[in-house]
C-alpha cells in the first residue's frame, strides 16, 4: 500500500493486485485482539489515498506470473507477506491444531480449553483475545521469557490483563508432541507432562512468502521484494521499505 501510494505520487502508473477482498493484509487480523483497533486506521487511510491517486486496485485477484507479465511492467514490487510457520512437531497436522490467524479471522472457533504455542507478541495477544472470551488459556514458550518482541510498556499492560484472566504461562517449555486431546510438554529439566486441551493455537511466527519472485525472475526488468515477503517483521519495516523502494524508482 505504501509502495503503491508513493509510486503513484511520483507519477508512475500503478496497478495493485491483492488476493484478499480488502486492503490491509495481516493488519486485518492484527487489529482483532483487545486494544489494537487503531491498526484499522492504516488500511482506511491507504484506501482513501490510493483511490485519490488513481491507483488501479485489483482486489480478490492473485497476481500470478502470467497476469503480471500481461501488464508489461517496468518494475514489479512483491509485497506478498508471510505464511504461518509450522515446525516439524509430531502431530502438528492433527484436527486439534489451528493457527492464530485462523482464530483471529474467525475462520476457526476453539473449545473452552486452549493451549497457545508461542509466547511472542502474536501468541500473547491471541491468548488475551481468547481469555477475554472466558476460555481457559495456557501459553507455552520454549524461551525463558515471553513478550520479548513487544515494547516493554505494552507488555506491562498486556501481562496484567493475562494475569487477571488467569492465563497460565509455561516458560522454558517445549511442545514435544501433539495428541488428539492435548500436548506432551518437556521442560528444561527434561520432565515430561501431558496437558489436555480442546485446541492448540499455533503462534510460532511466519515465514516469507514470495513464490511470485521466483516465477518472475529474469522475465521482468526490475523486481523488488519488500516487507514480510522479504523477512517477516513489523509494520514499521514494511512501510519503510515500501516508501524507500517506490521513492527510488
Ligand X SMILES: Cc1cc2nc3c(=O)[nH]c(=O)nc-3n(C[C@H](O)[C@H](O)[C@H](O)COP(=O)(O)OP(=O)(O)OC[C@H]3O[C@@H](n4cnc5c(N)ncnc54)[C@H](O)[C@@H]3O)c2cc1C
* Residues of this chain that bind ligand X (CB under 6 A): 17-20, 25-27, 29-30, 36, 62-63, 79-82, 100-101, 104, 122, 212, 227-229, 233-236, 238
Torsions phi, psi for 229 (to 5 deg): -65, -25
Pick 100 or 131: Cβ nearer ligand X:
100
Alpha helices in 100-234 (DSSP H): 100-104, 121-131, 152-164, 211-216
Output the smallest distance, CB 182 to ligand X, in A: 24
227: left (phi over 0), alpha (psi -120 to 50) or beta: left
Output the smallest distance, CB 34 to ligand X, in A: 12
Output the smallest distance, CB 26 to ligand X, in A: 3
Which residues are registered as beta bridge partners of 10?
A: none
For residue 221, give the C-alpha cell. 526488468
123: left (phi over 0), alpha (psi -120 to 50) or beta: alpha
Pick 116 or 229: Cβ nearer ligand X:
229
Torsions phi, psi for 127 (to 5 deg): -60, -45
Pick 29 or 155: Cβ nearer ligand X:
29
Output the smallest distance, CB 189 to ligand X, in A: 32
Pick 10 or 234: Cβ nearer ligand X:
234
Amino acid at each position: 500500500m505504501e509502495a503503491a501510494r508513493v509510486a503513484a505520487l511520483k507519477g508512475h502508473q500503478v496497478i495493485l493486485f491483492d488476493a484478499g477482498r480488502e486492503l490491509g493484509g495481516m493488519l486485518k487480523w492484527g487489529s482483532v485482539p483487545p486494544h489494537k483497533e487503531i491498526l484499522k486506521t492504516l488500511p482506511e487511510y491507504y484506501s482513501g489515498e490510493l483511490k485519490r491517486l488513481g491507483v488501479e486496485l485489483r482486489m480478490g485477484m492473485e497476481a500470478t506470473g502470467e497476469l503480471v507479465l500481461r501488464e508489461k511492467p517496468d518494475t514489479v514490487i512483491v509485497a506478498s507477506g508471510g505464511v504461518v510457520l509450522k515446525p516439524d512437531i509430531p502431530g502438528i497436522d492433527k484436527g486439534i491444531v489451528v493457527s492464530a490467524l485462523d482464530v483471529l479471522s474467525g475462520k476457526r472457533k476453539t473449545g473452552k480449553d486452549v493451549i497457545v504455542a508461542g509466547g511472542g507478541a502474536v501468541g500473547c495477544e491471541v491468548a488475551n483475545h481468547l481469555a477475554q472470551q472466558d476460555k481457559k488459556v495456557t501459553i507455552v514458550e520454549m524461551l525463558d521469557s515471553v513478550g520479548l518482541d513487544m515494547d516493554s510498556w505494552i507488555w506491562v499492560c498486556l501481562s496484567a490483563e493475562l494475569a487477571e484472566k488467569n492465563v497460565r504461562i509455561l516458560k522454558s517449555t517445549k511442545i514435544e508432541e501433539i495428541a488428539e486431546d492435548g500436548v506432551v510438554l518437556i521442560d528444561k529439566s527434561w520432565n515430561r507432562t501431558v496437558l489436555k486441551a480442546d485446541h492448540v493455537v499455533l503462534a510460532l511466527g511466519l515465514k516469507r512468502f514470495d513464490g511470485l519472485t521466483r516465477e518472475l525472475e529474469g522475465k521482468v526488468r526490475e523486481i523488488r521484494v519488500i516487507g514480510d515477503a522479504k523477512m517477516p517483521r513489523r509494520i514499521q519495516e514494511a512501510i519503510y521499505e515500501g516508501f524507500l523502494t517506490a521513492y527510488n524508482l
